[in-house]
Structure 1
């Protein structure tokens, strides 16, 4: 019986976490919010598939840089409000 060889997954270094987290958060949040607002505007129609990706892209282009700028402020406010461990 041969020993199992674990396959290592390549990951980004930890120093990139402060950029990856807002990137992923902005993608998920803008995806959901733009879908809801587009649905409210046009309903379940064939227009939805054409309008939603454009609405998502425009909202993401605003949200990601905003998250990068606002995140340090939010972290400080959170430390002010929440007891440390």
Structure 2
């Protein structure tokens, strides 16, 4: 469907979409409880959250991968 060169962007878009959707729903419920128009409020919050989350995931994914590799390699070296 898409060329392999877009893998990082597509991953960031999908991952940030899932996380923003779930977190915006959870936080909307925690902060406001169930109310008339909850779904509309949740979707509005999701749009803002995804607009923020997508570039953040795209920027921080490489750092997260490097930290993970270091943690895994450090564990392998220590013999655990």
Name the counterpart of 2:65: 75
Unaligned runs of 5+ in 1: 1-10
* Alpha-carbon displacement from aligned partner over 1:49-73 (angstroms, at most 9, x marks no partner): 2211111111111110011111111
1:22 corresponds to 2:9: no
The correspondence for 1:49, drawn from 39, 42, 57, is 39
Aligned length: 74
Give the root-mean-square deviation of aligned CA atoms: 1.5
For CA contacts below 8 A with separation 6 or more, give which structure has more relative contact order: 2
Gaps of 5+ in 2: none
Following superposition, the deviation at residue 38 of structure 1 comes to 0.9
TM-score by length of 2: 0.82
Instruction: Indicate the structure with greater helix content.
Output: 2
- Where has structure 1 moved over 6 Å in runs of 4 or more? none
Which structure has the greater CA radius of gyration?
1
